[in-house]
Structure 1
Amino acid sequence: MLEYECKYIMIERLCLALVWATKRLRHYMTEYSVLLVSRLDPLRYLFDRPVLTGRLMRWLVLLIEFDIHYVTQKSVKGSIVVDHLASLPISDDRSVNDDFPDEQIISMTSIMGWRLYFDGAANQSRFGIGILLISPQGDHIPRSVRLAFSDHHRLTNNIVEYEACITGLETTLDLGIRQLEIHGDSNLVIQQTQGIWRTRDEKLKPYHAYLDLLSDGFDVLRYIHLPKAENQFAEALATLASMIVIPTGVTVRPLLIETRSAPAYYCLIGEIEDQIELPWFHNIYQFLSCDTYLESTSAKDRRALR
C-alpha cells in the first residue's frame, strides 16, 4: 500500500483490497458469483454511507458490476493464507487503478447505424451459421447458411464462429455498408479479432488473416461481445441451417415471422354466434368479452359463471 493508503480506516482498506482483487481477477469474477469471506462487509459499508464522494463513489460503481455476496468469516483457518500474504506485501509503488473502463472515450458517440449479429451451431456433425443484419430503421435481414464442406475440412466450433463472422462482413460489404457494429457470443473470435488475444491455433490463422483483410474495407468497425442469451435470433438461424437439408435447386424465400395474440379458434366463436342456435359456451364468451350476462340467467347461475 502507498503511504496515503495506509491512513485509511480498516473498512476502507478492505474496500481497496476488494477493488484491487476485481482488477486482477476480472476474467473470473465477471462469469461467476463470488462469495466474499471477511470479518467486515465492505459492500455494506459503501451502500450504507449517506453521502459518497471521491474514491468511495468510484469503488462502489466499479464493484456493482460483479455479483459479490458477503459471507461472515466463521473460522480463522480460512484466512491464514490471506493474512500471510497481506503481511508480506510485494514492493509496488503504483496506486490501485480505480479508473473506469474506457473512461477516456466515454464521450464518444455510438454508431447509430447497421448492426450485425452472428452465431454458429453444430448438430450431429452438421454445421450451420446464422446472421442477422439490422438496419438503422430497425429492419431485420436474416440469413442462414449450411456448411457442407468436404470431409478433409474438419470443422470445430471456433471455425464455425469465424465462418459466421466472415460471412456477415462479406454480406455487409456487398451492400455497401462501411460503418458497422458486430455482436457475437464467441469471446474467442471477438478478442482475437481486436488483437487482445493471440491466434495460436494453426487452423484459425487463415481465418484471422482473411478477417483482417475484410476489416480494411470498413471506415468504422466495432466488435461487441454478447452473452449467449442476448444472441438468440442468430443462434436460431444457425441451428435451423444445421438441422435441415435443402434439396439441390430449391430456393427458400426469406422467412416471415409474425406475432399472433389470440388463438386461431377465436374466429370460430364469432362464426358460430351468427347461427340461430347459440353454442354451449356463449354465456362464458359473453361474460369474458363484454362482462355481461344473458337476460334469462338467474343469480345462482351468475355466481357459478363468475
Structure 2
Amino acid sequence: MGCMLAQQDPESKRERAIYFISKKMLEYEQKYTILEKTCLALVWATQKLRHYLLSNRVLLLSRMDPLKYLFEKQPSPGELPEYEACIAGLEAAMALHFQDLDVFGDSILIICQTNGNWKTRDDKLIPYNTYLESLVRKFGNITIHSFVQNEESLCGCISYSGFDA
C-alpha cells in the first residue's frame, strides 16, 4: 500500500507531490476486505504523516465510496468527555462575562458539529450538542477553530492500496 502527500500550488492551483511512502502488507492484512484495507491504509498514512497533517489543512481524496461509511459511524462514548470539556470552558467564559470569544480545540468532531458542518446522530450526544449550541448562541461573537490547522496551505493525502479488487 502507499500514500502520496501533495500540496496545491497557490498560483496554478495544481497539486505537487511532496512526499511518498509505501509499505508491504503483512500476510494477515492481505486477507482484509477492500474497505478494511482502505482503512488500514488511511490509519497507517495518518500515523506516518502526522507531523504534516497536524499543521496543515488536509483534503482526503479516495476512489472508494465505502469510505463514507467511516464518516457516518456512530460516535463512541469516548466523545462525552470532549463535549463536557468544551461545555465547561464555555460556561467558565460566561461566568467571566466574556462576550467575544475565540475557541481553539483539537476535537474535529466537536468543532464541526458545533459549527453546523456535521450533525449529531448518537442519542447519547444529542443533549450535549444541543446544550453546547445554546451556549454558543449566548455569546456576542464566537468563533470555533481547530488549532491543528494552518489555513494558508492545502495538503492532500491520497491513500490507495495495492491489491486486486
TM-score by length of 2: 0.48
Question: Of Structure 1 and Structure 2, which has the larger fraction of its residues in strand?
Answer: 2
Find the structure with the greater CA-based Rg. 1
Higher RCO by CA contacts (8 Å cutoff, separation 6 or greater): 2
TM-score, structure 1 normalization: 0.27
